[in-house]
Amino acid sequence: MPDMGNSRFQKPAASGLLFSWGARAFYVGPSFRLSPHRNAVAVLAIGVDRPFGVASNPKMQNSAYRSCRTALIPPNMLHHFHIGRGRIAFLYVDARSRDLEHLQALAAERTPRASFDLSVENELIELSTRLSDGVIDWRKARVELVEHLNAPAPGGIDCRIARLIEQLHAEPAARTSLASIAKELELSESRLMHIFKRDVGIPFRRYRMWVSMGAAIRMMHAGARLTDAALATGFSSSAHFSASFREMFGIEPSRLSQAIASAPPP
């Protein structure tokens, strides 16, 4: 899920929980019937109650599903989850950090399209269960998640790209042309795209869409209509927003909004 700011979404009975801190986000709750999709950042899926299946190349005819309890999908990688009944958790990592690198090192099986069976799998399942059941609150859960990530703070990013990222988060509706941004940073367009992909791990336009989606979801949970939230965050229409969201997350934003309920930060 996109960056929601330092927000907390609390559940009603039989609903889900969605949290975020910095550029990371964490969902735990009922599974969705997701379509094949590509996330803008890497995502760690956790089968809270039971195993689930992952097809890391769903375009292939009769693509096999790998059964697992934890699967790490790299950014921009087409994949499909086959999730039965029970709860699922998704951890969306910070694209600027070494989260992905660290989690990949914990996997028992690593392939270019997905990594499986993390050594901290049991701990992550237990953490997700306790959080979903209300045994621990988000503050406690976040501390434990950070310990499992054990990743250093974001660093090593070109200072010009760091400024650009801050600007994107400050103005999620802005659609300044790539040419204008490159000129302001004193870079060619091709050089800007190269450095951004190198330092952040995903293309500039995809990261900008990720940020805009997060801003739109925040507005919806503050009471805005889907159409108003979409237009206010730079999408041409609600249909454009919904189609882009589904392509990135395999679900319509309205379905996600219905599955979780907002509450004040703890």
Tell me, yes or no, whether 126 and 163 share the same domain: no
Query: Structurally, how many domains does the chain consist of?
Result: 2
- Alpha-helical (H) ranges within 48-120 are 99-105
Domain boundary, last residue among 149, 184, 201: 149
Beta-strand relationship, 66-68 and 107-110: unpaired
- Do 207 and 145 lie in one domain? The reply is no
Residue 3 lies in a domain: no
Asked if 145 and 13 sit in the same domain, the reply is: yes
Q: Which long-range contacts (CB under 8 A, 24 or more apart) does 216-222 make?
A: 216/241, 216/253, 217/1, 217/2, 217/4, 217/253, 217/256, 217/257, 218/4, 218/5, 218/7, 220/253, 220/257, 221/7, 221/9, 221/257, 221/260, 221/262, 222/262
**Residues written for the chain:** 266
Given 105, 123, 149, which residue is the final one in a domain? 149
Structure tokens at 146: 């950070």
Residue 236, both tokens:
């041409």
Co-location of 127 and 72 in the same domain: yes
Confidence check: pLDDT of 2 > 80: no
86 and 212 belong to one structural domain? no
What is the average pLDDT value for the chain, to the nearest integer? 84
Task: Say what percent of the chain tops pLDDT 70.
Answer: 88
Tokens of 200: 């952040």
**In a domain? residue 264:** no
Residue 262 — very low, low, confident or very high, per pLDDT cuts 50/70/90? very low
Residue finishing a domain among 100, 118, 149: 149
Kindly tell me if the per-residue pLDDT of 230 is higher than 80. Answer: yes
Residues 125 and 180 reside in one and the same domain: no
Min mean pLDDT across 8-17, 73-82, 191-200, 253-262 is at 8-17
pLDDT tens for residues 14-30? 478 888 777 788 999 88
In a domain? residue 1: no
Q: Are residues 208 and 244 in the same domain?
A: yes
Q: How much of the chain is helix, strand and coil, in % rounded to 5?
A: 40, 20, 40
User: How many C-alpha atoms does 181 have within 13 Å on its Cβ side?
Assistant: 21
What confidence score (pLDDT) does residue 4 get? 43
Residue 198, domain extent: 159-259
Residue for token pair 């921009």: 76
Digit-coded pLDDT (tens) for 168-204: 888 989 999 999 999 999 999 999 999 998 888 788 9
Whether residues 183 and 132 share a domain: the answer is: no
Whether residue 100 lies inside any domain: the answer is yes
Tell me the pLDDT tens digit for each residue of 213-225.
Answer: 888 877 887 788 8
207 part of a folded domain:
yes
Asked if residue 74 is part of any domain, the answer here is: yes
The percent of residues in the chain predicted with pLDDT above 90, rounded, is 44
Across 237-256, average pLDDT: 88
Q: Tell me the torsion sign for CA atoms 168, 170, 176, 181.
A: negative
Query: Does one domain contain both 165 and 135?
Result: no
Q: Which of 40-44, 48-52, 79-83, 153-157 has the lowest mean pLDDT?
A: 153-157
Residue 121's CATH number: 2.60.120.280
| Same structural domain, 139 and 16 | yes
Residue 233 lies in a domain: yes
Considering the domain architecture, whether residues 145 and 168 belong to the same structural domain is answered as: no
The rounded distance, in Å, linking the Cα atoms of 138 and 175 is: 34
Q: For residue 7, is pLDDT > 50?
A: no
Report pTM.
0.80
Residues 134 and 174 in one domain: no
Residue 196 lies in a domain: yes
CATH code of residue 182:
1.10.10.60
pLDDT tens column, 107-164: 999 998 999 999 999 999 999 999 999 999 999 999 999 888 865 555 568 889 988 9
